[in-house]
Structure 1
Amino acid sequence: MKRIFEKNRVNSGDFRSKLIESFFGKASFVIFTMVFSLVCTRLYGAELFGQYTYAFSIVTLLMIFAKAGFDNSLVYYIPKTKQKFISLSFVLNASISLVLVIVSLFFITDDFVRIMLPLIWLVSMEQIFFGIYRASGNIKKYFFINGFVSVLVRIILIIFLYYIFGKSFIGIVIGVYVSFILSNVLYFVQNKTYFKKIEFDKKYLLYSASLVLAAVMGVAMDKIDIIMLGNMTNMKNVGIYQIAIQVANLLFMILVVFDTVFGPQISKLYHSKKIEELRILYIKSTRVLGLIALVFIVILTLTSTMVLQLFGQEFVEAKTALLLRSIGQFVNVAVGSVWLMLAMTGKPRFHIYANLFAFTLNISMNYILIPLYGVNGAAFATMTSMIVVNILGYIMVCNIFKLKVYKFF
């Protein structure tokens, strides 16, 4: 009994240690990303920042197909198969990225978006490396590059290039490209020993494919409002709305930090048949997440105007949108890692169905509300779909794992 207790204490300590590393790493990334946005809006203005945001949103959406679910598949499979599928994942990622870029060039006419398309490969590759770091427990190394080195280089470059090219999107494009190329080179150097011969496996590819649809729907639901806002209004509105999203996503960061560590933990406990430990961990963590989310949204409500003024007076008009998006994120964080619980226990199809429903709802509401209410309409549509999909996930997790997180539900 003493040995079991000591083992559990060691595991708990390791989990907390990884959680702290993830928090500081992600916090660094969020802070530097906010600084990047602050510099962009101050130097380049809301319209050009909106143009960048619109283009990068399209890249992010297409990137999901390029990474093909390999990031989360590696988190699920590495505890069982070690580095067996790593080389395969990167080869397929490069091939899919190339096809996506070529095909997209035939359909996309916006010059800024076309220039940004090769980022599909760089961004998706970074996400697959993230899966390796999560599975191997080296989160600190990943976030040092992702949350500090890469974004810092990006900020320095866009400031430097502003004084060379002036108020032009060229400065932003070069800064973003150089930062992603640098980060991926550093990731490869740190993980080159994991690359072995390519081994095909039908089960691995099918599992990855099942995660793609859920991820596409999730990112599409998160980005479709930006894309529709850009097509139905103007790029200035996109820039203003993006700042509201970024500030609201500070709350989401809490869940992302936790998921970074919780994902591998779910996989380990599930494969070890320790379902009761998994249930207890989910319940306790979700209660803590819910409390933190509540405190955060109260503080944000009281300080929203002051925060938005940092980016410029024109961004204050995003106050309502910021509060609406924050409510959606509050629900997202308060129900905990519901979809990760399902994906890491071999049940990713539920996420596909829920995201498909929420995505359809989001598009329909955006189509109706954006012409009437602009950025506030987009925020309300996304908030509603976000609440719906996360409540559905919470209900599924409670039923499947026979648990109840809060007193009344």
Structure 2
Amino acid sequence: MIRKKKAIKSLSLLWAGSLIGSGSTFVIYTVLARKIGPESFGLFSSALATISIFSLLAGFGVSKVWLKLLGKEGWEGIRWIKPSLSFVVLTLIFITIAIFLLTLLELHDDTTRKLLIILICYIYGYIGVELVCSKLQLEERYNQLAIWQLLPNLSRLLIILAFYYLLDISLSVINVGYIYAIIGCVFALLGSYQLNKMSMGKFALKGHEQTQRKIVETPKIKDVLIEAWPFGLANLFAFIYVQSDIIMVKYISGDTETGYYNVSFVILSAILIIPTILFGKFLMPKYHRWANHDTDRFYRVYKQSNFIMLVTGSLIMIIVLLSSQFCIPIIFGREYIPSIVMMNILSITLPISFLAYSVGATLVTKEHMKLKVKLMGIIAFLNIVLNVFLIPNYGAKGAAISTVISNVLLLGLYYKAVNKQVFAQQKK
């Protein structure tokens, strides 16, 4: 009973922090959508989506690797921290050079080029936050994790509101880009301090006894890459079939259509915080432990989670379908009425996505991650093909249809793989 109360309290804190954080992002997008219009809003959205791709390459899955390796090795896993951080630095150098080269392409206008360069600092802050979040997950310090998750987005929101309403400074996409960059630099520095302490073994790993450590070989950077690449590719493929639509809509249908689509995507992202926190932040460290040491409990939680996610996703889908035609014009403005159709299409994916989070989370454990990456790669490729055919004919609505189809197929592949690989023994 005490354990359940503690779990509920921890989850409540995480969701509260994430709701404030994602709520801040939602308000930021609402303000921008109203003040700069669909075309400029679409330009900013596509630039941030492009930068987000590079953010996923920063560390290339190291934050998830920490959960796996320290969940498996316990305190012996500390040997991975220093080479992991060196690997992160190398990826950041590569990314910075790549973005500068990208801006030289004639695909971009001058505003987009400048914005992409400014947002490089956003990447540094992103990886700092991700790595510290993994540290706090391993320590099961959910109070601090909740605060760490909400602060970047909340800080951006407060500065944007202060600029516009108190200082009367115009909200151009470049000014907003500078705000994102400044907050990125701040959290990169704050994260560096905590990560340096972690590399020296100054953190409280939960779920493992701190016994005398064996003398083991320190991994090299190439060893980190070998462990990290499945997680890095998984993040990249997930981005492709979830967010690449925004970029493709921009270059196929233009900035205005991108602005319409991004409104529906922002709402969808805010809702998906629910399974993201449950499986990505709260259950994932525990899944790694249970998969190695308590498979019966692992299977029991898996079945319960599937039922809860399916029911929750279905209820939220119904709410969205009933309210979108009223809420979108009120919140974002009547300019975004075209977004209603896209939101209704994307709402169909909510119960599917909620269930896919639950089923897919089990494939992160042990050596199943490589299988998960293959399945995600198949769907990412399919999503791009669907976008190429659907967006030219249906615009942003085509991107929404592509997302629904991709998520349905992904769930089917996940479910089949989990039954055959993860819980084959329990199914007998």
Q: What TM-score comes out, normalization by structure 1 length?
A: 0.90
Give the whole-Å Cα distance in 2 for the aligned partners of 1:205 and 1:339. Answer: 22
Q: Does 1:24 align with 2:16?
A: yes
| Aligned length, in residue pairs | 395
1:93 to 64, 88, 95: 88
Who is 2:407 aligned against? 386
318-327 or 365-374: bigger deviation = 318-327
Superposed CA deviations along residues 124-166 of structure 1, whole A, max 9, x for unmatched, are 232222222222212321321331x322221222234345652
Who is 1:5 aligned against? none
1:116 to 119, 123, 127: 119
CA contact (8 A) 1:94 1:121 kept: no
CA contact (8 A) 1:329 1:386 kept: no
CA contact (8 A) 1:279 1:403 kept: no
Q: Does 1:294 align with 2:293?
A: no
1:285 to 305, 308, 323: 305
* Aligned AA (1:104): I
Q: Does 1:64 align with 2:45?
A: no
2:378 to 357, 377, 388: 357
Structure 1's consecutive aligned runs of 4 or more residues displaced over 6 angstroms after TM superposition are none
Who is 2:207 aligned against? none
Superposed CA deviations along residues 199-220 of structure 1, whole A, max 9, x for unmatched, are 4346543121222122211112
CA contact (8 A) 1:361 1:385 kept: yes
**Secondary structure at the residue paired with 2:348?**
helix
Give the whole-Å Cα distance in 2 for the aligned partners of 1:220 and 1:335. Answer: 16
| Structure-to-structure mapping, 1:109-258, within 5 angstroms | 109=104, 110=108, 111=113, 112-147=115-150, 149-162=151-164, 163=167, 165-190=169-194, 192-196=196-200, 199-201=218-220, 203-258=223-278
5+ unaligned residues in a row in structure 2: which ranges? Answer: 202-216
* Aligned AA (2:81): I
Q: What TM-score comes out, normalization by structure 2 length?
A: 0.86
CA contact (8 A) 1:269 1:275 kept: yes
* Aligned AA (2:56): I
Deviation at 1:239, TM superposition (A): 1.8
Deviation at 1:403, TM superposition (A): 8.7
Deviation at 1:336, TM superposition (A): 4.1
Give the whole-Å Cα distance in 2 for the aligned partners of 1:159 and 1:370. Answer: 35
Superposed CA deviations along residues 16-58 of structure 1, whole A, max 9, x for unmatched, are 3322222111111121111111111122222222212111111
1:84 to 55, 65, 79: 79
Give the whole-Å Cα distance in 1 for the aligned partners of 2:316 and 2:350. Answer: 11
Q: Does 1:376 align with 2:397?
A: yes
5+ unaligned residues in a row in structure 1: which ranges? Answer: 1-8
Please report the RMSD computed on the Cα atoms of aligned residues, expressed in angstroms: 2.3
Give the whole-Å Cα distance in 2 for the aligned partners of 1:191 and 1:102. Answer: 24
Q: Does 1:75 align with 2:67?
A: yes
| Cα distance change, pair 403–242 in 1 and its aligned pair in 2 (3 A) | farther
* Aligned AA (1:180): G
Give the whole-Å Cα distance in 2 for the aligned partners of 1:337 and 1:248. Answer: 17
Give the whole-Å Cα distance in 1 for the aligned partners of 2:54 and 2:218. Answer: 26
Superposed CA deviations along residues 275-307 of structure 1, whole A, max 9, x for unmatched, are 111000111122111111111111111001122
CA contact (8 A) 1:19 1:261 kept: yes
Superposed CA deviations along residues 329-349 of structure 1, whole A, max 9, x for unmatched, are 320102442222111232111
Deviation at 1:12, TM superposition (A): 3.9
**Secondary structure at the residue paired with 1:84?**
helix
* Aligned AA (2:262): Q
Deviation at 1:360, TM superposition (A): 1.4
Give the whole-Å Cα distance in 2 for the aligned partners of 1:191 and 1:353. Answer: 31
How high is the sequence identity, in percent, across the aligned residues? 17
Give the whole-Å Cα distance in 1 for the aligned partners of 2:313 and 2:261. Answer: 21
Give the whole-Å Cα distance in 2 for the aligned partners of 1:107 and 1:257. Answer: 33
Q: Does 1:275 align with 2:281?
A: no
Who is 2:214 aligned against? none
Who is 2:211 aligned against? none
* Aligned AA (2:325): T
Give the whole-Å Cα distance in 2 for the aligned partners of 1:114 and 1:177. Answer: 10
Who is 1:347 aligned against? 368
Who is 1:6 aligned against? none
Superposed CA deviations along residues 323-370 of structure 1, whole A, max 9, x for unmatched, are 222222320102442222111232111122111111111111111111
**Secondary structure at the residue paired with 1:337?**
helix
Deviation at 1:116, TM superposition (A): 1.9
* Aligned AA (2:118): I
Give the whole-Å Cα distance in 2 for the aligned partners of 1:404 and 1:324. Answer: 36
160-169 or 248-257: bigger deviation = 160-169
Give the whole-Å Cα distance in 2 for the aligned partners of 1:308 and 1:236. Answer: 16
| Cα distance change, pair 52–246 in 1 and its aligned pair in 2 (3 A) | same
